[in-house]
Amino acid sequence: MNPILECQGLSKRYGSSFYALNNLSLSIGRGQIVGLLGPNGSGKTTFIKLINDILVPTSGKILIDGKEPGVETKKIVSYLPDRIHLDDSMKIKDMIAYFSDFYTDFVTDRAYKMLTDLEIDVNKRLKTFSKGTKEKVQLLLTMSRDAQLYVLDEPIGGVDPAARDYILQTILGNYNENATVIISTHLIHDIENILDRVIFIRQGQLALNAAVDEIRMDHGKSVDALFREVFRC
């Protein structure tokens, strides 16, 4: 089977000379949870936007399941942006109906199950919830699709620590074993137990692409400790 994501010499320039991504080449296989990690401004969101066809590469190639990002790849990629993009005035149950109409792979029962577990009232409008709960709703909707690739940009930033574990278990429990999840986050300590692999990005370039087990064996440290060492200011 081809990798779910491949990029070759991928670069993105903003303005006339600043490269947010610079000659990135990597391949991500199926059936794993991958941490996309790097300091502020290292190019993570730019990379995620390229995967989701929100930005176009300046040079190089990016392929999702062998195809350039576009209408076809959006059918198999479930994307959680780094900010809330849902219509605040909608009731949660109407959002579920909307997602279910829009995405053929949306699993309505799964969404309701997670909302019940988190005691989120589906009859209320999104704007009546706190920022953290809004983030949970957005993540639940993203994870309720049967996608081949989930791309989550900062999924647990605003969620309280007690709910983070539930959210992480939700991520683990709601994707099929052939799917891949890419998670960009600064909360490395919180998520490293669910990661199979990590990609470190520094100034738009690949600094490390390794299995978490390899890091623990080769470096004798956690991903969080290695990150702090590699990116020490």
Closer residue to ligand ATP, CB minimum distance, 65 or 81: 81
What distances in angstroms separate CA 99 from CA 23, 71, 201, one per listed residue? 36, 17, 32
Closer residue to ligand ATP, CB minimum distance, 15 or 220: 15
Q: Which of 28, 34, 44, 136 binds ligand ATP (CB under 6 A)?
A: 44
DSSP 169-196: HHHHHTS-TT-EEEEE-S-HHHHGGG-S
Query: 170 and 114 in contact (C-beta within 8 Å)?
Result: yes
Beta bridge partners of 213: none
Minimum separation from the CB atom of position 153 to ligand ATP (A): 8
Q: Is 40 helix (H, G, I), strand (E, B) or coil?
A: coil
Interface with ligand ATP, residue 52, by CB under 6 A: no
DSSP annotation of 96 reads H
Interface with ligand ATP, residue 46, by CB under 6 A: yes
Q: Find, among 196, 87, 62, the residue nearest to 141 by Cα.
A: 87
Q: What's the gap between Cα 179 and its chain centre?
A: 12
Taking CB under 6 A as the binding criterion, the range among 43-51, 85-93, 158-166, 188-196 that sits at the site for ligand ATP is 43-51
Cα of first residue to Cα of last residue in the chain, in angstroms, is 40
Q: Which of 8, 9, 27, 41 binds ligand ATP (CB under 6 A)?
A: 41
Minimum separation from the CB atom of position 14 to ligand ATP (A): 3
Give the full edge-to-edge strand order of the sheet including 5-14.
18-28, 5-14, 59-64
Minimum separation from the CB atom of position 48 to ligand ATP (A): 8
Minimum separation from the CB atom of position 38 to ligand ATP (A): 5
Interface with ligand ATP, residue 176, by CB under 6 A: no
Q: Which of 11, 22, 32, 45 binds ligand ATP (CB under 6 A)?
A: 45
Interface with ligand ATP, residue 199, by CB under 6 A: no
Interface with ligand ATP, residue 35, by CB under 6 A: no
Interface with ligand ATP, residue 17, by CB under 6 A: no
DSSP annotation of 93 reads H
